[in-house]
Amino acid sequence: MSAFAVWDEGEARALLAGMGRGQDKVLPMLQALQARYGFVHAAAVGLVAAAVNVSRAEVHGVVTFYHDFRTAPPPARVIRLCRAEACQAVGCEALVAEAARLGVAVDGPPAGGVAVETVYCLGNCALGPAALVGGELVGLLDADGLRALVAGA
């Protein structure tokens, strides 16, 4: 069961209406929409553009520039795997290989409702390899732990 609402353009308009009108509101508006619906719906680009009086192309540019914005509903489980230098030094690339063995390509399309995405530093360098799953930081991740995360444990 998803924690996100089903896209509703009227509701989205109401959400944006209370956020102000300046161009500095583009990011907060997109973040609010993604927090509500789990992604930035294609129709939301035009709503945000109209709300702050910029072009759709400018809003689209923001959505596609920032890695955290999604343009499709998220998979059931997202595992954000740190691949920064400290985590590389303690084996995160072996976890990338393990994910591939499990049929989940890192930074590829979701497989079986699971996506593994690269991030560069979760601030948990002393306990690497590290991952972030559902807002929870996981340290000292190994192949067994990754298998459990992919399985939904």
- Pairing assessment for the beta strands 131-133 and 114-119 based on DSSP bridges: unpaired
pTM over 0.95: no
* Gyration radius (Cα) of the chain, Å: 18
Q: What's the CATH number of domain 77-151, 3.90.550.10, 3.40.718.10, 3.40.30.10, 1.10.1740.10?
A: 3.40.30.10
pLDDT of residue 153: 65
pLDDT digit string, tens, across residues 41-63: 999 999 999 999 999 999 999 99
Residue 103 has pLDDT above 80, yes or no: yes
Residue 15 has pLDDT above 50, yes or no: yes
pLDDT digit string, tens, across residues 88-99: 999 999 999 999
What residue spans define the domains of the chain?
A: 9-65, 77-151
